[in-house]
Amino acid sequence: MRVYRLGCLEGQMSMLIFHALAKMGREALILVSPSQRIVSVGYFQDTDKVVDLEYCRKNGISVMRREIGGGTTLLDRNQIFFQLIVRRDNPEFPRRISSLYELIAGPCVDTYRALGVDASFRPVNDIVTKEGRKVSGLGGADIGECVVFVGNIILDFDSREMANILRVPSEKFRDKVHKSLEDNVSSVFKETGTNPPRSEVEDLLIGNFAMRLGQLEEVCLDDEVYAKACELEKEMMSDDFLFRRRDKAAGDEDYMKVKIATGTQVSERSYKAPGGLITVTHVIQGNTIENISISGDFTFYPKNRLRDIEDALVGVRRDISDIEQVISSVYHDLSIESPGVAPLDFAQAICKSD
């Protein structure tokens, strides 16, 4: 497999290269950092609900949506990202998503341990210290004919800036977010008091991935890949893609309900599953789902099949067992996987009590 050791790339290009390789069907391992800060929004999130866009604009921080689930993250040069692209038809890789998470977690854990951080893999997709502080979050998605998995080694972490870029209801709430980040997210520097050279970390990652993937060949980025990334930049940095909505009705609170007419209401509910936050916006006529949209920071494969679940739920009675049965059937028929999020979690989000 090829390794692209790209150093620091301008802004969103650090995220666009793996999208380009995946859409071209090329397997590779990428090591890269952004040279400027950038906010990366999860595929199933609504950008204007989770990002403080005014703060980002005033501070020159670009915002982009990635084709990978999970939550909003602040990327900077103090994080080294590893991005593994494999073809779905490659028989040498596990078929189950959970097994692939374990595969990519191994090199990350080994690298942290070599740097003096006693880290381990915590399912569904986190790398944590022995005290439980998060030092890497893994993500994955189907892109083109490939599956992409990403993670990072956090050399240092700016928890204040991470809190600043999030959309929150008040500054008091933002302070609580900052305190929570300080307590629960860590870095090599915070754990060891040292900041190792980038080349040392990259050498460790490549060696640890090679132990699991076989021989890796370091190559330079060719013009064809860069041209594809530039082509994708126009699409993925456009307002149409960035602000594409998952919801079909407005609502910014953990729970909101608006009565439209007798027997008809629009509501939004959020539910925390082990694999991420699920937000459901739906129109209920009587006790029947008339329209529904699901968003959140969970991981879902294949990512475009979430719409099939929404479509299948139209006309279904708002009953937790009925909804779970419908979603389970779609999961089975379309071979859907969502680590840490089960059909019952979606049903509970939809039927969360008023």
19 near 45, Cβ under 8 Å? no
The pLDDT tens digits of the residues spanning 85-120 come to 999 999 999 888 888 899 999 999 999 999 999 999
By mean pLDDT, which of 131-140, 147-156, 261-270, 276-285 is the weakest? 261-270
pLDDT higher than threshold 70 for residue 191: yes
User: Start-end ranges of CATH 3.30.390.50 in the chain?
Assistant: 255-351
pLDDT higher than threshold 80 for residue 245: no
2-242 adopts what CATH topology?
A: BirA Bifunctional Protein; domain 2 (3.30.930)
The architecture in CATH of the region 255-351 reads 2-Layer Sandwich (3.30)
Q: What is the pLDDT of residue 269?
A: 87
Task: Compute how many other C-beta atoms are within 10 angstroms of the C-beta atom of residue 64.
Answer: 19
Q: What is the pLDDT of residue 263?
A: 63
Q: How confident is the model at residue 251 (pLDDT cuts 50, 70, 90)?
A: very low
Q: What is the pLDDT of residue 40?
A: 97
Q: What is the pLDDT of residue 257?
A: 52
Q: What is the pLDDT of residue 94?
A: 86
Q: What is the pLDDT of residue 353?
A: 62
Residue 119 is encoded by which pair of tokens? 């880290």
The pLDDT tens digits of the residues spanning 41-99 come to 999 999 999 999 999 999 999 999 999 999 999 999 999 999 999 999 999 998 888 88
Q: Burial of 201 by CB count in 10 Å (0-12 exposed, 13-18 middle, 19+ buried)?
A: buried
Q: What is the pLDDT of residue 354?
A: 52
User: Start-end ranges of CATH 3.30.930.10 in the chain?
Assistant: 2-242
pLDDT higher than threshold 60 for residue 247: no
Classify strands 28-34 and 126-129 as parallel, antiparallel or unpaired.
unpaired
pLDDT higher than threshold 90 for residue 183: yes
pLDDT higher than threshold 80 for residue 255: no
Share of the chain above pLDDT 90, in %: 86
Q: How confident is the model at residue 234 (pLDDT cuts 50, 70, 90)?
A: very high
Backbone φ and ψ of 189, nearest 5°: -65, -45
153 near 199, Cβ under 8 Å? no
pLDDT higher than threshold 80 for residue 261: no
Give me the mean pLDDT over the 137-153 stretch. 95
263 torsion bin: left (phi>0), alpha (psi -120 to 50), beta (else): left
The pLDDT tens digits of the residues spanning 271-291 come to 999 999 999 988 888 899 999
Q: In terms of pTM, does the model score above 0.75?
A: yes
Q: What is the pLDDT of residue 301?
A: 95
Q: What is the pLDDT of residue 352?
A: 81
